């Protein structure tokens, strides 16, 4: 009993001080933590103060140098440019949201087109994608202003100045004629972003800051550690957005190889500006001045449909070769998609609405009957990969909409119709 009590007592005695000690330790640890956190906060605050100061100084320093570099490389004089340092959130607020109800309507309509062509998943949002893409920017140039996104741009990084060379190239670039189609817009953007990206690489090679220039992706997107932290952008949307930097740079590189900066400069002049993604993807077609064929739009027989203008104020749109390639590559492999999209000669995309219903038609003309047949086969293969149910030959249904595909060997063209009203998509329904 005594032994037991002793034991218990001993244990109690031992236990008690232990408890106290642990409590004390805990308390001390807690206080220490608080102090430590306070110390960290103070030092982090100092660091931020210091960093903000150094950040701005360093950014301004390389900005001035980049300005001199662009002027020297291109033999131009830049206007006075203001450098702004903003946060990622400020960039998203500024550029990542629809600019008004008309813009939102256009984005939602474009989302229906992407979903109708199986380029976007049913639960994805184009508004969100646009915002996510903006959050991935490192820098932007608007008018005579260059903006740096603080969280995404490190002025001490070895490639930081090249990013500014890229942005300052935008400051120099002459403005192009307003594009009237998606395809022409993409081609112009490919020249603009391609040139700026080419200049950044040119500067890197010139100063030998790095041995190897960026190969697949430009440093100003790749170096961003936050890229994976945001809502991931689908491969298809990424490909569409990223094309001007990637294929655009190859295009501009080909111009440089042929005629130096003089030939690149010429591309900004009326009559020399690339007019389609076909010319960007196949630079020989640019040099041969192979232009886009005008394609008619078969009219729906039901006159209840109201033709809806594009966001560029046009009755019809042209999506072009790169868009087609990207659409197919959402479901098929890259080389098969490229192969099937090559031979594109022109297309007419027309969008109609009737209440909550929509109908879009897409008439694509091909260089040869073989090209038309090839696309037709690839598109059918693509449709078989999607979750859409085949209803008849060249007809599929999913999520309350019907899509039909027909091809015409005599005119070497293919015709796609997609609508929430099945009867509106039937080939017999078109004049
Ligand atoms: Zn750019």
How far is ligand 1, taken at its centre, from the CA of residue 293, in Å? Answer: 30
How far is ligand 1, taken at its centre, from the CA of residue 245, in Å? Answer: 8
How far is ligand 1, taken at its centre, from the CA of residue 252, in Å? Answer: 14
How far is ligand 1, taken at its centre, from the CA of residue 104, in Å? Answer: 24
Planar angle of CA 92, 98, 100, nearest 5 degrees: 130
Give the Cα separation of 243 and 322 in Å (integer).
Answer: 8
Please give the distance of CA 25 from its chain centroid, rounded to a whole number.
Answer: 54
pLDDT at residue 96, as a whole number: 82
Protein residues near ligand 1, an ion, with CB under 5 A? 193, 196
pLDDT at residue 271, as a whole number: 95
pLDDT at residue 368, as a whole number: 97
pLDDT at residue 8, as a whole number: 23
How far is ligand 1, taken at its centre, from the CA of residue 318, in Å? Answer: 24
**Residue 321 in tokens:** 């070769």
pLDDT at residue 93, as a whole number: 86
How far is ligand 1, taken at its centre, from the CA of residue 139, in Å? Answer: 8
157-178: pLDDT as tens digits? 888 999 999 999 999 999 999 9
pLDDT at residue 48, as a whole number: 54
How far is ligand 1, taken at its centre, from the CA of residue 419, in Å? Answer: 36
Does this model's pTM top 0.85? My answer is no
State the CB neighbour count (10 A cutoff) for residue 96: 19
pLDDT at residue 196, as a whole number: 95
308-322: pLDDT as tens digits? 999 999 999 999 999
How far is ligand 1, taken at its centre, from the CA of residue 390, in Å? Answer: 43
pLDDT at residue 50, as a whole number: 55
How far is ligand 1, taken at its centre, from the CA of residue 188, in Å? Answer: 12
How far is ligand 1, taken at its centre, from the CA of residue 199, in Å? Answer: 11
220-257: pLDDT as tens digits? 443 343 444 444 678 899 899 889 999 999 999 999 99
How far is ligand 1, taken at its centre, from the CA of residue 265, in Å? Answer: 17
Give the Cα separation of 155 and 61 in Å (integer).
Answer: 9
Q: Which residues of the chain have pLDDT under 70?
A: 1-51, 209-232, 431
- Collect all residues with Cβ–Cβ distance below 8 Å to 293 and sequence separation of at least 6: 345, 346, 365
How far is ligand 1, taken at its centre, from the CA of residue 214, in Å? Answer: 15
């Amino acid at each position: 009993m005594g032994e037991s009590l002793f034991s218990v007592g001993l244990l109690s005695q031992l236990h008690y001080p232990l408890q106290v000690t642990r409590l004390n330790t805990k308390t001390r640890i807690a206080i220490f933590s608080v102090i430590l956190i306070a110390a960290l906060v103070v030092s982090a605050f100092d660091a931020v103060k210091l960093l903000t100061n150094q950040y701005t100084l360093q950014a301004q320093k390389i900005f001035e140098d980049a300005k001199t570099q662009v002027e020297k490389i291109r033999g131009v004089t830049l206007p006075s440019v203001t450098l702004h340092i903003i946060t990622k959130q400020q960039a998203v607020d500024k550029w990542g949201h629809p600019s008004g109800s008309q813009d939102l309507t256009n984005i939602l309509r474009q989302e229906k087109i992407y979903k109708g062509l199986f380029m976007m998943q049913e639960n994805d949002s184009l508004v969100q994608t646009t915002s996510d893409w903006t959050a991935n920017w490192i820098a932007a140039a608007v008018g005579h202003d260059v903006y740096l996104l603080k969280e995404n741009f490190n002025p001490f990084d070895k490639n930081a100045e090249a990013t500014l060379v890229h942005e300052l190239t935008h400051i120099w670039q002459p403005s192009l004629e307003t594009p009237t189609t998606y395809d022409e817009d993409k081609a112009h953007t490919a020249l603009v972003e391609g040139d700026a990206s080419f200049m950044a690489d040119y500067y890197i090679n010139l100063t030998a800051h790095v041995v190897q220039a960026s190969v697949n992706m430009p440093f100003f997107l790749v170096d961003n550690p936050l890229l994976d932290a945001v809502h991931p952008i689908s491969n298809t949307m990424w490909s569409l957005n990223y094309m001007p930097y990637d294929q655009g740079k190859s295009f501009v590189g080909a111009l440089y190889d042929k005629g130096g900066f003089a030939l690149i400069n010429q591309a900004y002049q009326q009559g020399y500006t690339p007019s389609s993604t076909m010319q960007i993807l196949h630079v020989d077609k640019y040099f041969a001045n192979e232009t886009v064929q005008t394609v008619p739009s078969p009219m729906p027989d039901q006159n209840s449909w109201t033709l809806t203008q594009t966001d560029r104020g046009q009755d019809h749109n042209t999506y072009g070769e790169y868009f087609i390639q990207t659409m197919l590559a959402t479901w098929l492999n890259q080389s098969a998609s490229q192969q099937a999209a090559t031979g594109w000669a022109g297309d007419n995309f027309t969008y109609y609405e009737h209440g909550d219903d929509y109908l879009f038609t897409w008439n694509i003309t091909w260089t040869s009957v073989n090209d038309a047949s090839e696309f037709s086969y690839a598109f059918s293969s693509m449709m078989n990969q999607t979750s859409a149910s085949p209803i008849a030959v060249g007809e599929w249904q999913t999520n309350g909409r019907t899509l039909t595909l027909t091809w015409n060997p005599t005119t070497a063209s293919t015709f796609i119709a997609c609508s929430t009203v099945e009867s509106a998509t039937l080939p017999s329904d078109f004049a």
